[in-house]
């Protein structure tokens, strides 16, 4: 369901690299990830606008110049974070569905995995994609739209395969699309509500299960047996 996220650091063909160049490449990759991790933590705890490049450099234990070597600005940092978090989200959810196959139970487990695996275990990453990336520059908003379009497409594809496997059909040609968009909207809203507005992450598993059951009830009302 998701393509592998590629690091923006250029690499030569392994056959053309010397041991010293391979070591430098690993060091660059490590520094790049260290800066990203520091930025993620600061954006999530201090807020995107309140975090400076100097703070990120200090948290990464590198110079400000080193941060600017890897990232053009804060906007570039949050965009790269969104790409990595988006890949993790789609991989986490997609692996559950692929493991269990195109069944309604699999679709249910996939929804639960969003809350129980992704949200519960990655609150800082949730803060980036659900809170800190909202209402930023047109470039950030465009990247956010791309992420959510991909996730919606994943849900749409999974839902279609489940319904086809069960020899069912949607009552309307737009039903699958409407359900996929609704799922993304509901899940995002619930994650925001109980992770950030109310800080009830300890209850998110049971809350998520209620949300999934609610969605499944809606799906059952929009499908019919094929003739």
Between β-strands 168-170 and 223-225, what pairing exists: parallel, antiparallel or unpaired? antiparallel
pLDDT digits (tens, 9 = 90+) for 190-220: 999 999 999 898 999 999 999 999 999 999 9
pLDDT tops 60 at residue 22: yes
Map out the domains of the chain as residue ranges. 16-71, 74-225
Band (2; pLDDT cuts 50, 70, 90) = very low
The CA-to-CA distance between both ends of the chain, in Å, stands at 30
Query: Is 16-71 a domain of CATH 1.10.10.60?
Result: yes
Whether 16-71 shares its CATH topology with 74-225 is answered no
State the architecture of 74-225 in CATH terms: Orthogonal Bundle (1.10)
What mean pLDDT is predicted for residues 129-135? 95
Whole-number pLDDT of residue 3: 52
Those residues with Cβ within 8 angstroms of residue 98's Cβ, 6 or more apart along the chain or in another chain: 1
* pLDDT score of 30 more than 90: yes
**Whole-angstrom Cα distance, residue 113 to residue 36?**
25
| Of 3-12, 42-51, 99-108, 179-188, the least confident | 3-12
CB atoms within 10 A of CB 21: 12
Please, which pLDDT band fits residue 23 given cuts at 50, 70 and 90? confident
Q: In Å, how far are 86, 109, 116, 140, 144 from 150, measured between CA atoms?
A: 9, 19, 21, 15, 10
pLDDT higher than 80, residue 11: no
Q: Which two tokens stand for residue 166?
A: 């069960």
Q: What's the whole-model pTM score?
A: 0.87
Distance, in Å, from the CA atom of 52 to the CA atom of 59, rounded to the nearest integer, reads 11
Work out the mean pLDDT of the chain and round it to a whole number. 92
Single out the residue of 82, 204, 221 nearest to residue 149, CA to CA.
82
């Amino acid at each position: 369901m998701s393509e592998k996220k590629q690091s923006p650091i250029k690499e030569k063909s392994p056959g053309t690299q010397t041991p010293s160049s391979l070591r430098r490449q690993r060091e660059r990759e490590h520094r790049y990830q260290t800066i990203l991790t520091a930025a993620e933590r600061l954006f999530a705890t201090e807020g995107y606008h309140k975090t400076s490049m100097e703070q990120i450099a200090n948290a990464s234990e590198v110079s400000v110049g080193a941060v600017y070597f890897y990232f053009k600005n804060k906007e570039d940092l949050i965009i790269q974070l969104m790409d990595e978090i988006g890949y993790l989200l789609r991989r986490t959810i997609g692996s559950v569905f692929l493991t269990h196959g195109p069944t309604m139970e699999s679709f249910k487990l996939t929804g639960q995995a969003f809350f129980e695996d992704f949200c519960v275990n990655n609150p800082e990453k949730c803060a980036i994609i659900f809170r800190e990336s909202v209402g930023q520059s047109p470039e950030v908003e465009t990247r956010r739209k791309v992420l959510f379009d991909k996730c919606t497409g994943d849900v749409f594809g999974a839902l279609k395969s489940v319904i086809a496997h069960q020899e069912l059909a949607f009552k309307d040609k737009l039903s699958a699309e409407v359900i996929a968009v609704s799922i993304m909207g509901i899940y995002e809203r619930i994650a925001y509500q109980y992770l950030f507005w109310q800080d009830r992450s300890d209850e998110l598993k049971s809350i998520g299960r209620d949300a999934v059951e609610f969605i499944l009830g809606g799906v059952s009302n929009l499908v019919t047996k094929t003739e």
